[in-house]
Amino acid sequence: MDVERKYRFTWEQLGDVDLGRPNLGPYAKVEVYRLMQLCVRDAIESEYGMAATDRIFYRAGYLAGEELYRNALGHITGLKDFFKKLQSVLREMGIGILRIEESDLDNGRFVITVSEDLDCSGLPETGYEICTYDEGLIAALLNSFTGKKFDVKEVDCWCTGSKACRFVAEMSE
């Protein structure tokens, strides 16, 4: 689609944090991250509705997942190594604690949970899963690693009463 754009995201856009924040350093409060994400979602939803917003967040998460895979995970030697590196990157960056329930590469099915999720842990119970961005992110990570397309669905979330987000990933081709 030919639309006017300010940018196409690249990892370099994250900038030189050390240079830019000599006093404040690399961390910000989780509330600040959520404030932005929840307000961005609110604004997009009020203009484009729920379904379109879900698609946009999934897509944004997907883009983030691809970039994260390329720039943060390093050289990966196999499935075991993939999960190991992913676990440590997600923990170090404060995104969440990744645990694997099921990993079946041959049949293209994974069930994973993310505890203390950056997006939703501790949010009020609303009865719907909210981590659409994470769904996209996980889909991109699996896609980048396996070369196969994955659909990811969050089946349990802090917002539905669980104490961890649970994602089911299934190969879609």
Partner 1 sequence: MDNCTRLILEEMASGRIPEAVEAHCEYAGELERLRAYLAALRQFTLALCQGDLSQKLETYGGPVAGSLKTLQANLRHLTWQTKQIAAGDFSQRVDFMGDFSEAFNTMVEKLDAAMTNLVNLNTRDTLTGLYNRAYFDAEFGRLDHGRDFPVSIVMADLNGLKQVNDRHGHATGDVLIKKAADILKVAVRGGDMVARIGGDEFVITLPRTGVDSANVILSRIRACIAEQGGTGPEVSLAVGAATAHYSGSMQQALTEADQRMYHDKSEYKRQAAPLSPLPT
Give the integer Cα–Cα distance in Å for 119 and 38. Answer: 9
The residue count for binding partner 1 (CB under 8 A) is 22
- The binder of 41, among partner 1, Zn ion, none, by C-beta within 5 to 8 A per type, is none
Shortest Cβ 97–partner 1 spacing (Å): 8
The answer to whether 151 contacts partner 1 (rule: CB under 8 A) is no
99 binds, among Zn ion, partner 1, none (CB under 5 to 8 A by kind): partner 1
Cα–Cα distance for residue pair 100/113, rounded to 1 Å = 6
Number of CB atoms found within 10 A of residue 16's CB: 8
Contact flag: residue 164 with partner 1 (CB under 8 A): yes
Q: How far is the CB of 164 from Zn ion (least distance, A)?
A: 8
Options 37, 144, 146, 160; binder of partner 1; rule CB under 8 A: 160
Cα–Cα distance measured from residue 168 to residue 11, given in angstroms and rounded to the nearest whole number: 28
By CB under 8 A, residue 90 contacts partner 1:
no
Nearest by Cα to 158 from 96, 70, 89, 85: 96
Nearest to 31 by CA among 154, 163, 156, 121: 121
Q: Which of 86, 165, 168, 169 binds Zn ion (CB under 5 A)?
A: 165
Residues forming the site for partner 1 (CB under 8 A): 80, 84, 97, 99-103, 111, 113, 115, 125, 127, 155-156, 158, 160-164, 166
